[in-house]
């Protein structure tokens, strides 16, 4: 085996040495030849260049796809990060907007209730105090409400309590920061009233139901359903002309009046000072007013 390889080596060695010596020179000559060929036939060189580019174009395309894919992945990751931050910001804004929406709805309801109070104020009123109903102290034998205003706010016993629709009742007990309102539907309530059209006088008597009765009418009085009932001003309890209700039914059992103000849906009321003492002597003891 060694004997056969020695002659081949002896022949190849000089050729290899010669190739190494003249390789650089050969490349220079080849490049120079290509330059001369390009000068001689530019169209031929351009065609050769185009063929070379066409040959390596699939390789470049295949090599560029992973790079493009990585770029797309990086871009999508960046967009997802931006969207996550935007989503977090929008959630915080939504939470704040829901809070403001709740506040806005509450204020809208309060504003609507307070606007109703402006619909009616007696011309005789010297002053008035707006208060909120905070409790219902009524029961089987009493119909009254508690409002969050008292002596320090200017509330006095005997004042008429109204809303924009009409009469609610009157103040019967006052503390420094609260007051109790006797409703016109209470069993102890007796209010001088008059029919608005025929001017027939009577007494609106509460019976602890949602519909008080019209009693003590003059003989031969004719009252029809749908007639409005207002205060007459007699007795010095209320001024005349306060809307009370409307006649709901007339029968042998009596005349039933539907009050204008539903006591079970009261939020805000107005205590009106008209300068009347309501025919009641007041005494003050320990910050409260009581009947004598």
| Radius of gyration of the chain measured on its C-alpha atoms | 51
Residues 197-249 pLDDT 10s: 888 999 999 988 889 999 999 888 888 999 999 998 887 778 888 899 999 99
Domain ranges of the chain: 127-291
Cα dihedral 76/81/86/92 (nearest 10): 150
Q: Is the pLDDT of residue 15 over 70?
A: no
Alpha carbon distance 155, 153 (integer Å): 6
Q: The whole model's pTM is what?
A: 0.56
pLDDT grade for 291, boundaries at 50, 70 and 90: very low
> What class has domain 127-291?
mainly beta
C-alpha span between 43 and 50 (Å, rounded): 10
Report pLDDT digits (tens) over 64-104: 666 566 677 778 888 888 888 888 888 888 888 877 777 77
The residues, any chain, with a CB within 8 Å of residue 227's CB and separated by 6 or more, are 195, 196, 197, 198, 246, 247
β-pair type (228-231, 213-215): unpaired
């Amino acid at each position: 085996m060694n004997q056969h390889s020695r002659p081949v080596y002896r022949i190849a060695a000089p050729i290899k040495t010669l190739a190494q010596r003249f390789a650089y020179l050969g490349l220079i000559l080849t490049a120079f030849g290509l330059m001369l060929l390009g000068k001689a036939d530019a169209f031929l060189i351009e065609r050769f260049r185009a063929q070379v580019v066409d040959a390596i174009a699939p390789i470049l395309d295949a090599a560029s796809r992973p790079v493009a894919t990585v770029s797309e992945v990086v871009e999508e990751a960046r967009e997802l990060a931006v969207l996550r931050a935007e989503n977090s910001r929008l959630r915080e804004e939504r939470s704040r907007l829901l809070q403001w929406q709740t506040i806005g709805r509450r204020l809208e309801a309060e504003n609507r209730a307070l606007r109703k109070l402006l619909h009616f104020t007696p011309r005789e009123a010297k002053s008035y105090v707006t208060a909120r109903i905070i409790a219902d102290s009524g029961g089987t034998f009493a119909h009254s409400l508690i409002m969050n205003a008292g002596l320090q706010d200017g509330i006095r016993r005997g004042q008429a309590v109204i809303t924009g629709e009409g009469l609610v009742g009157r103040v019967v007990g006052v503390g420094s920061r609260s007051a109790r309102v006797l409703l016109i539907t209470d069993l102890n309530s007796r209010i001088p009233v008059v029919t608005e059209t025929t001017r027939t006088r009577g007494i609106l008597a509460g019976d602890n139901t949602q519909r008080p009765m019209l009693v003590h009418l003059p003989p031969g009085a004719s009252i029809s359903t749908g007639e409005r009932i207002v205060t007459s001003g007699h007795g010095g309890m209320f001024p005349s002309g306060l809307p009370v209700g409307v006649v709901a039914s007339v029968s042998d059992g009596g005349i039933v009046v539907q009050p204008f103000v539903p006591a079970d849906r009261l939020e805000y009321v107005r205590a009106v000072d008209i300068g009347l003492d309501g025919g009641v002597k007041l005494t003050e003891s320990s910050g409260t007013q009581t009947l004598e």
